[in-house]
Amino acid sequence: MFLSAFLEQTNGTARDSSDDEEETELKILEKEINELREAKKEVFERSLHAHKELERYIALYQRERERVDNLIRHRVMCIILVTLIVLWIISYCVRTTFPTVTLHVT
């Protein structure tokens, strides 16, 4: 009887200390989970900000590219126009300087 009471008391104490250890471990786990969730929120908020900045960068890049394309298009059109004018002037000068000779066959 004494032995069974001792074993019950020892098991009870052991059980109480293991319960305390489990509770402590659960509290630690819950704390770590909460810390991880907070860290995830922070990372998400920072990445959201970075995503918005990246979208803004892309929009600026696209606008710049459109402007550069328009500038190149205008320059090419000017070059073509000047070339056509020069060719027209050359053509006009050749016609007036060297009159064409026509042969009349009789």
Domain that holds residue 88: 1-106
What pLDDT was estimated at residue 59?
A: 96
Domain count, the chain: 1
Render pLDDT for 68-80 as a digit per residue (tens, 0 to 9).
999 999 999 999 9
- Identify the pLDDT of residue 21: 85
Query: Phi-psi region for residue 99, left (φ > 0), alpha (ψ -120 to 50) or beta?
Result: beta
Give first-to-last CA distance, the chain, whole Å: 155
The parts of the chain modelled with pLDDT lower than 70 are: 1-17, 97-106
pTM of the model: 0.50
Q: For position 18, what pLDDT does the model report?
A: 74
